[in-house]
Structure formats: structure tokens, C-alpha cells
Structure 1
Amino acid sequence: MTELHQAAAAGHYDELEELLREQRCDPNQRDVDWSHKTALHWAAAKGHTESVRILLEHGARPCLRTVNGWTPAHYAAESGHLVVLRLLHSLHAPVDKEDFSGDKPARIAEIYGHHDCVVFLKKAEIEAQAYREMAAQRGISIDETDEEWEQRRTENEENKISNIQT
């Protein structure tokens, strides 16, 4: 775990701000020892809204996924951090992406009994879809695809098909 990941997970806002301002850390660095979590995943999981805001202001990509396909929204939903989910949604971060198992953040919140998050995320999913459609019509670029994760997912699916055929 890097210094940036530790600061995000602990909610050390001043340290996080300093590391990013001085450009000593990449806000999108994945921690290979922790399922490819970024600092944003850690901050969302721990409910550190200010850390989430700081990371996003410094270029953290909320569409990046862990090895199991979780976005920061999945982690916030798992822990019931409604304020973090609201912040992510307000900044057009993907709050409705499916993980490897086909679960969206709303389903994760449901599994863990966070009813307020489920209600919010169901509404946010509709709003996110409407925003994507509007952005497509207006030619607005949206950063919602983790290219590295998509490549790994495609390779895994090809390997499954290959294994079935042999």
C-alpha cells in the first residue's frame, strides 16, 4: 500500500492534499497487493468524503475497477456511505456499473442492508443513464470505462471459451 493509499484509507486529508499537490503520487495508481484498489476505492470504502473530493479534484478516475470489477461506488455501497455515493453521482461518476458477478452498487447495498443507499442508487441509475444519453447526443465525453479492466475481462472470457472448447 502506497503512502497515498494509506492517507486516503485513514482520512488524512491534509497529507493527501499535499501528496497530490506536489505530484508525488499518481491518484490512479492501483495497489496490486490489494485487488488493484486505487486511493479513491479506499476513501470511498472508508466513507472519507473529503478524501474522495480531493482525489477527484486531482484527477482520480472514479471508473477504475478492482480485479473483481468494483468501482468506488461499490465500496461506498457496501459500507453504506450515502454521502460518498451522492458526491460520486453528483460528479457523474459511474454508480451503476456491473462487477464480474453482474452486481451493481445498488445490489451490493441491498445485500448489506443499506436501504437508504439502495433507494438513492436506484434513482441515480436512471439519472446516470439519462445523463449518458444526453452526453452522447451533445458529443460530451464521459470517462466511465476502465480500459485495463475491460481488457482483463475480455481475456478471461476468451480463456473460458477456449477451455470449454478443449
Structure 2
Amino acid sequence: MTELHQAAAAGDLGRVQEILRQNECDPNQRDIDWSCKTPLHWAAAQGHTETVQVLVEHGARPCLRTEHGWTPAHSAAEAGRLAVLRLLHSLHAPVDQEDRWGDKPARIAEIYGHHDCVLFLKKAEIECQAYRKVAAQKGISVDDTDEEWAEQGKQHEDKPSPKSNVQT
């Protein structure tokens, strides 16, 4: 875990700004010891909206996923961080992506009993999809794909399942 990860998790906005200003750490660095979470995942999970805003302003990508396919929106949904979810949605972050098991942030919020988040996310999913469609029509680039995670998914699909090796 880098110092930026720690400062983001703690909500130490001043330290986060200092680290980013001095280019001491990549805001998109994944922590392999913690499921490949980025500083943005940590800030979102802890409900640090100002830290989330600063990280995104400094290039943190809200589409990046953990090893299980969670975006920062999933992390915020698990913890019931409605203000963070609202902020991510206002920044056109993907709040409608499925994790490795097919669960969107709304489902995660539902599992953990965060009904206000569920209601918001159900509406936000529709708006997110509509925005992508309009952006595509207008030729506007939308940063909603974690290329590294997508590539890992393809590698898993290419490997034969253990059952396919069993001879009958």
C-alpha cells in the first residue's frame, strides 16, 4: 500500500493533494496486497468525497477495477456512501458495471441494506447508459473500460475449464 493509498483511505486531503502535486505516486496504482484497489477505491469506500474529487481531478480513473471486478462505485455501494455515489455519477463514472459475478453496485448496496443507495443507483444506471449512448453518437470519448481487467477476463475465458479436461 502506497502513501497515497493510505492518505486516501484516511481522508487526509492535504496529504493526498501534496502527494499528487509532487507527482510522488500514480493515482491509478493498484495495491496487489489489497485486491488491486486504487487510492480511489479506498477513498470511495470510506466516504471521503473531497478526496475522491481531488483524485479524479488528478487523473484517477473511476473505471479501474479490483481483482474481483469492483469499481470505486462498488466500494462506495458496499459501505453505503451515497454522497460518493452521487459524485461519481456526476463525473460520468461507470456506476453500472458488473463485477466478476455479475453484480452491479446497486446489487451490492442491496445486499448490504443501503436502500437509499439502491434507489439512487437504479436511476443512475439508466442515466449512465443514456450518457454513453449520446456520447457515442457525438463522438465523445468515455473512460468506462479497465483495459487491464478486461484482458485478464479474456485470459480466463481462453483457459479450458477443469471439466473440459476430463475424459468420459
> Within 2, Cα distance between the matches of 1:157 and 1:35?
20
Aligned residue number for residue 156 of structure 1 = 156
Q: Which residue is 1:165 aligned to?
A: 164
Aligned to 1:81: 81
Once the two structures are TM-superposed, the CA of residue 156 in structure 1 deviates from its matched residue by 1.1
Kindly state the Cα deviation for residue 162 of structure 1 after the two structures are TM-superposed: 4.8
Matches within 5 A, 1:60-99: 60-99=60-99
Show the counterpart of 2:27. 27
Find the counterpart in structure 2 of residue 145 from structure 1: 145
Q: Quote how far apart the aligned CAs of 1:165 are.
A: 2.5
CA distance in 2, matches of 1:134, 1:114: 30
Q: Which amino acid aligns with 1:165?
A: S
Q: Which amino acid aligns with 1:153?
A: G
* DSSP 3-state at the match of 1:143: coil
Count how many residue pairs are aligned between Structure 1 and Structure 2.
165
Deviation (angstroms), 1:54? 0.6
Shift of 1:50: 0.8
TM-score, normalised to structure 1, is 0.98
For 2:20, what is the secondary structure of its paired residue? helix
2:163 is aligned with 1:124: no
Partner SS, residue 63 of structure 2: coil
The alpha-carbon deviation at position 163 of structure 1 amounts to: 3.4
> Aligned with 1:109: secondary structure?
helix
Q: Work out the CA distance in 2 between the residues paired with 1:137 and 1:164.
A: 43
Question: Normalized against structure 2, the TM-score is what?
Answer: 0.96
Gaps of 5+ in 2: none
2:115 alignment counterpart: 115
How many Å apart are 1:164 and its aligned residue?
3.4
Give per-residue Cα distances to partners, 1:5-44, cap 9 Å, x unaligned: 0000000000000000111110000000000000000000
The CA distance in 1 between the partners of 2:163 and 2:150, in whole Å, is 21
Which structure 1 segments of 5+ residues have no match?
none
Query: 1:148 & 1:164 partners in 2: Cα distance?
Result: 27
- Counterpart of 1:69 in 2: which secondary structure? coil
Measure, in 1, the Cα distance between the counterparts of 2:75 and 2:103: 12
Q: Could you tell me how far apart the structure 2 residues matched to 1:29 and 1:55 are? A: 12
| Paired residue type of 1:65 | R
Aligned mates of 2:80, 2:152 — CA distance in 1: 29
